[in-house]
Structure 1
Amino acid sequence: MREAAIAYGYQRRAKTAAQSELDRGYQKNNGEVEVAPYCATFTKGLAHDEYGVVKDLAAVDIFKVEISQQLDPAQPDTPKQHTPFPDRPGNDIYPKGVAAAFDVPHPDMFRQPVPGGGMPKWRGWESPLAGHTFELEGPDCDTLAMPEAPKLGSDELTAEIAELYAMALLRDVPFQEFETGQAGTAPTPSGMTTNTVIAALNQLPWFNKVTAPDIQHLTPREIRRREARFLSGETALTRGSLFRGSTAGPMTGPWISQFLLIGSTGRGPGAGCNQMPLPQAAAQPPQQASLTCTNLAPGGGGDVTDGLIRYGAQTITQYFIPHLARVDHMTDLTTWLDVQDGADRKKIDCYADAPRFIHTPRDLATYVHFDALYQGYLNACLILLSMDVPADRGLPEGMGNSTDDTVRHKTRDAFATFGTAQILSLVTEVATRALKAARRQKFQIHLRGRPEAVAGGLTLAGLQAAAGGGKSGVERMGPFGAQALAMADALPMALKNGVNAHNLASNTAHGTAASNGWIDMCPHNLLLPMAFPEGSPMHPSYAAGHATVAGACVTILKAFFELYGAGPFSGSRGETKLSTIVQHFENDATFGDLYRAPSLMPHACRTSPDGSHLVPYAGQLTIEGELDKLAANISVGRNFAGVHYYTDYYESLRMGERIAVGILQEQMLTYREPLSMRFRSFDGDYMLLTGTGGSLGLDDAVVHVRGADEGVISFDKWWHRAGDESGWTRG
């Protein structure tokens, strides 16, 4: 009974911690979701006219009522505190306890057949009600917030869509061209090169701090996002910062993270491997055909450059067969309109004829097209374990074969707690929490339109009035027409010409017509060339599920593994007092001792000129930096595919980080001995999580934060940073 009472106390304290993180209702979108005809709102799956505008505006209202799960259709934009429960009196949504029908009108006929088949089927919306779920571990979906997405016509969104065009044009250029000191100019179907693309992007105010050092009316959050795009001291984009990410790790070394390239070294030969003899008369088993995998060793490869990851007794390869180069999709109006209506054009992908390591943006887009969302982070964890990287020195038990006494306990080893079993489970466990939080932002808060839809709007905004009295594109788009036309006009002419040439080459290769002549009536075909035939998924753009999962999973890895030197830790593992660690953190002169001497990545590699194998990389890379790079690679890989914006990546990554911290904070309450974990956040904050081992007081499960440049700050200030920097008023 005593243990049950203690457990109940822990559970109540954990839920109190989760509920205190954010006031429910502290949410805000950019307002475009309220404005018909919803040209910047996610309407994929509804019926659209030849202008790409929703045919039936009432269908949008029905859609919003269904995703908000409200009883009063007359108030579809008024948020509720929670989903009505089945069989509750007056519940018209779940009559008799039957699941919601989610009855939204949608098309069932399309214009363009699928290559090699008949007409496509309609796709359903993916988990539109997941944002209404509750959590028993970690923060609930409605305790997390993301700032408003950039509006149509803003400098930031203009830069984002221009960047996506640039990514599409350079989709088959080797990543090594996007590095400082490189001078390659691989040819592209559009005729543009890395140099000409960078020059075009730097014509935009958002990417050039020389011509536009200060953009008016930016919030502190927008300024932070803009600054994150550049290397230190840069005033414009360069090869070294192009498409890189938003933290120091992605800006350093090869573009692709080591955790997407290298493998594990095999366990190696044993000693005394003397087999018992069989009787001479015994029949020998028949010889079987040999199963081959290049350089396969027991539990890994002969070397990390073989790209074979140890997964128990099995092996995971880092190389795979990517999508076929120079095959893009949705570059003609007919196919684009079908996809906006929800046509399912999956499973018609084209593939290369041989496997290779991730070498080009299209290769990375292939990876994030089919990955199990936690896949890259589970692989990273397996690699770290195979390298015997120890757990954070603040954890009571260690693991691995280190001879360093500060990472070993005198009598205990880790497994169920603080060891392989816990981290391999936890790094994947956070993924579903991240996905549900992202779904709430997508469907219940922002409903941000996908890049493919906005690019179509930029194209059709230039359409002049059709013969017979038809409306121009600007007229049909209503309040959004002038903004879309202004955005299209603001795009650098070289970039527009490049996209137009690329799409012409794509349509010629596919044998698709210009679609009833409408594209020919527009100044440019600015449809966004997509890496996936089905385009974006059937859910809104903001938050990005991949990026939210990336933020959560990588934060778990950074907190769990030892990324720094011994600092104030002395003696064997577990012998340094928690109070000593906290005192070092709170002291301006000594806190840096906790974050010095970063762990280096051994055996760093990069891809060969053709991506067929790995070659050594001589520069120094850190584990922390390569984990941050992994999160950026996976997230930005979705941008390379054309399905997400930079802000989707940037803000979702940081929301995922908070989900992981919330889960770790709750778990601190469950341990019966003092412990700590430390890491640096994606904004460069110094983070220290501490648990007392059972006090259940205000000193237990504490998240200590030092801003990158502002000293000690409250956990509350860190948690609410996105909203506070966006000028929101706390409710």
Structure 2
Amino acid sequence: MRALRIRVTNAEFWKSRPAVTHPTNGDEARFVNKIGSFSKALPHNRLGEVNLRAYRALIQALRTGDPALFEKLPLGGDRKLVNPQASYAFEMAGPDSHQLRIPAPPSVSSSATAAEAIELYWAALTRNIPFVDYGTDPLILEAAAELSGLSDFPAPKVNGRITPQTIFRDNLPGTLSGPFVSQFLLKPYPLISNITEQRYRVPAAAGNDFLTDYGEWLAVQNGSTSFPSTIFDPIPRYIRNGRDLAEFVHFDFSIDSGLIACRILLALGEEALDPANPYNKSNTQIGFPTFGSAHIFDFVTRAARPALEAAWYQKWLVHRRLRPENYGGLVHNVKMGNADYPINRQVLNSEALARTFDRYGSFLLPQAYPEGSPTHPSYPAGHSTFAGAMVTMLKAYFNESFVLPDPVVPSSDGLSLLPYTGRPLTVGGELNKLASNIGGARIAAGVHFRSSNLSGLKLGEAVAIGILRDYQKTYNESFNGFTLTKFDGTTITI
């Protein structure tokens, strides 16, 4: 009966939340040719503009939710859309996806989207530069200088300037301290009775920038599955540059980064657990199904799927924002004189775009993946959303102020880990950096805008907090609640 009361009380709590409206940037209604909307895998004309009949069929399927209509969608090639019907799924713990609100993304014609695109072009141009060389590399210094002068670009700055220490990072607590890559993507982690080193298969430096040829780009927009293969380095390496980081999130499963971080944290012992854990001071018991490893692993991984459902609701049923590679197509056709799209001149006149043309012979945004982006809309970023949810869970169960022992930084060749001797790195800061890295890796790959990542992180955080709330009264232990620091720096207790 107690369990029933808790279930009913939780259900009534979410049912009583006021209905929310979901703002959009208005691009879908503003542009008849749908240039600001996601349409990859549908048929397109020679400019990469979607076939309007096919787009209307997609909208009709999304408006009705009829599974039969999704099966009749006219695709342009062999590639399929990624799971639009997940937009309608409900959860039994935490908020339903349609109850969570995120801000509208910038319009395709805005200076904010232009600024985000310039960052993406620079990220593509600098993929091979080791993070440890950012302070002295002339291309990084040039990128930081141009990004510093952009309007509507809310990236972290020092004295009003983007620096080699802040470039391609997020302004979350702890993310600007220490090495670019989180300790949770560098340090070895326990797996059963083994210790696993985090050296990964990575692409070679040359020959792995894709969709810079217009014919290849257009074929991929139409859903072609005929594209070149990635050329891999024969030597596994620690993550040492943007290209390595992008590959980590190419074929990862949604729970991988959270699981690795959880294994590392549990191996640090009881001192790394959250001070509120009811078994920290017990003389006779330890936690396992509750407040122990089984509990923590379960909640970290269970947060990922509801977070993705929340992201998918926003992607398919609200925003349908175009992908960066689509934006690059608009830029290319404007610069080549093939079309007159309302692209902000900030990107058209940028040094990043000029350098891209000099290197590749087109104004398309170079992609790290042969297939370009996934076939689902850009906003919010799915990787950022599930990373935000898992990191929020980890901050609830572990001591955010705990200083990580023996921090490391990868060598410039990625073959070794070197001691890091700078300021102490805390669990909370490095978890925030992990979430930032997972989202930033998709920027390095060229498949997401910065604003998609930030909104995704906060959406995932809200999902995790809702799940923690619904379970708070299910425990027998004397427990005063979960305390954690949100991505905006505020501290809450659940």
Give the distance between the partners of 1:198 and 1:165, measured in 2 at CA: 12
Q: Which residue of 2 aligns with 1:13?
A: 9
Deviations 1:231-259 (A, max 9, x none): 4x521211111001121321111000001
Q: In structure 2, which of residues 340, 360, 364 is the aligned counterpart of residue 503 of structure 1?
A: 360
Q: Is the Cα contact below 8 Å between 2:184 and 2:431 reproduced in 1?
A: yes
Q: Which residue of 2 aligns with 1:312?
A: 192
Give the distance between the partners of 1:485 and 1:24, measured in 2 at CA: 35
| Runs of 5+ unmatched residues, structure 2 | none
Question: Matched residue of 2:102: which SS?
Answer: coil
Greater relative contact order: 1 or 2 (C-alpha under 8 angstroms, separation 6 or more)?
2
Give the distance between the partners of 1:43 and 1:172, measured in 2 at CA: 30
Partner amino acid, structure 2, of 1:259: F
Give the distance between the partners of 1:486 and 1:562, measured in 2 at CA: 47
Q: Which residue of 2 aligns with 1:338?
A: 219
What fraction of aligned residue pairs are identical, expressed as a percent? 34
Give the distance between the partners of 2:469 and 2:357, measured in 1 at CA: 51
Offset of residue 674 of structure 1? 3.8
Give the distance between the partners of 1:425 and 1:345, measured in 2 at CA: 39
Offset of residue 559 of structure 1? 0.5
For 1:549-628, list aligned pairs within 5 A.
549-563=386-400, 598-619=401-422, 620-628=424-432
Offset of residue 485 of structure 1? 6.1
Q: Is the Cα contact below 8 Å between 1:451 and 1:642 reproduced in 2?
A: yes
Offset of residue 62 of structure 1? 0.9
Q: In structure 1, which of residues 45, 51, 74 is the aligned counterpart of residue 47 of structure 2?
A: 51
Q: In structure 2, which of residues 117, 120, 136 is the aligned counterpart of residue 183 of structure 1?
A: 136
Q: Which residue of 2 aligns with 1:729?
A: none
1:30 aligns with 2:45: no
Q: Which structure's CA Rg is the greater one? A: 1
Partner amino acid, structure 2, of 1:8: L
Question: Matched residue of 2:87: which SS?
Answer: helix
Offset of residue 320 of structure 1? 1.1
1:374 aligns with 2:259: no
Q: Which residue of 2 aligns with 1:269?
A: none
Q: In structure 2, which of residues 89, 93, 97 is the aligned counterpart of residue 133 of structure 1?
A: 89
Q: Which residue of 2 aligns with 1:682?
A: 487
Give the distance between the partners of 1:599 and 1:159, measured in 2 at CA: 37
For 1:642-681, list aligned pairs within 5 A.
642-675=446-479, 676-681=481-486
Question: Matched residue of 1:473: which SS?
Answer: coil
Partner amino acid, structure 1, of 2:144: I
Distance 1:559 1:346, change over 3 A: farther
Give the distance between the partners of 1:612 and 1:408, measured in 2 at CA: 42
Q: Which residue of 2 aligns with 1:484?
A: 343
Q: In structure 2, which of residues 116, 134, 142 is the aligned counterpart of residue 196 of structure 1?
A: 142
Offset of residue 154 of structure 1? 1.6
Give the distance between the partners of 1:316 and 1:616, measured in 2 at CA: 18
Offset of residue 101 of structure 1? 4.5
1:248 aligns with 2:176: no
Give the distance between the partners of 1:501 and 1:175, measured in 2 at CA: 24
| Runs of 5+ unmatched residues, structure 1 | 71-82, 84-92, 109-121, 186-192, 208-225, 264-308, 398-406, 465-471, 475-480, 505-524, 564-597, 690-731
1:435 aligns with 2:391: no
Deviations 1:552-610 (A, max 9, x none): 000000001122xxxxxxxxxxxxxxxxxxxxxxxxxxxxxxxxxx2111000001231
Give the distance between the partners of 2:196 and 2:379, measured in 1 at CA: 32
1:637 aligns with 2:441: yes
Question: Matched residue of 1:615: which SS?
Answer: strand
For 1:387-402, list aligned pairs within 5 A.
387-388=268-269, 389-397=271-279
Give the aligned CA root-mean-square deviation in angstroms: 1.7
Q: Which residue of 2 aligns with 1:591?
A: none
Partner amino acid, structure 1, of 2:466: G
Partner amino acid, structure 2, of 1:9: R
Give the distance between the partners of 1:15 and 1:347, measured in 2 at CA: 50
Offset of residue 347 of structure 1? 7.7
Offset of residue 345 of structure 1? 4.4
Give the distance between the partners of 2:15 and 2:166, measured in 1 at CA: 39
Give the distance between the partners of 1:422 and 1:352, measured in 2 at CA: 39
Q: Is the Cα contact below 8 Å between 2:272 and 2:402 reproduced in 1?
A: no
Q: In structure 2, which of residues 56, 74, 94 is the aligned counterpart of residue 105 of structure 1?
A: 74
Partner amino acid, structure 2, of 1:142: H
Q: Is the Cα contact below 8 Å between 1:246 and 1:650 reproduced in 2?
A: no
Q: Is the Cα contact below 8 Å between 1:123 and 1:342 reproduced in 2?
A: yes
1:237 aligns with 2:162: yes
Give the distance between the partners of 1:33 and 1:610, measured in 2 at CA: 45
Offset of residue 488 of structure 1? 4.1
Q: Which residue of 1 aligns with 2:382?
A: 545
Question: Matched residue of 1:652: which SS?
Answer: helix
Give the distance between the partners of 1:206 and 1:484, measured in 2 at CA: 15
Give the distance between the partners of 1:659 and 1:256, measured in 2 at CA: 25
For 1:177-326, list aligned pairs within 5 A.
177-178=133-134, 182-185=135-138, 193-207=139-153, 226=154, 229-231=155-157, 233-263=158-188, 309-326=189-206
TM-score, length basis structure 1: 0.65
Q: Which residue of 2 aligns with 1:63?
A: 58
Offset of residue 688 of structure 1? 1.0
Q: Which residue of 2 aligns with 1:419?
A: 292
Q: Which residue of 1 aligns with 2:111?
A: 155
Q: Is the Cα contact below 8 Å between 2:114 and 2:343 reproduced in 1?
A: no
Give the distance between the partners of 1:394 and 1:346, measured in 2 at CA: 52
Deviations 1:33-89 (A, max 9, x none): 2231000100111111111112x3121111111123x2xxxxxxxxxxxx5xxxxxx
Moved more, 654-663 or 247-256: 247-256
Distance 1:167 1:526, change over 3 A: same
Structure with the bigger percentage of helix: 2
Question: Matched residue of 2:380: which SS?
Answer: coil
Q: Is the Cα contact below 8 Å between 1:230 and 1:237 reproduced in 2?
A: yes
Question: Matched residue of 1:551: which SS?
Answer: helix
Give the distance between the partners of 2:70 and 2:425, measured in 1 at CA: 52
Partner amino acid, structure 1, of 2:75: H
For 1:684-703, list aligned pairs within 5 A.
684-689=489-494
Distance 1:529 1:364, change over 3 A: same
Distance 1:332 1:632, change over 3 A: same
Question: Matched residue of 1:149: which SS?
Answer: coil
Q: Is the Cα contact below 8 Å between 2:20 and 2:101 reproduced in 1?
A: no
Partner amino acid, structure 1, of 2:276: G
1:473 aligns with 2:353: no
Give the distance between the partners of 2:85 and 2:241, measured in 1 at CA: 36
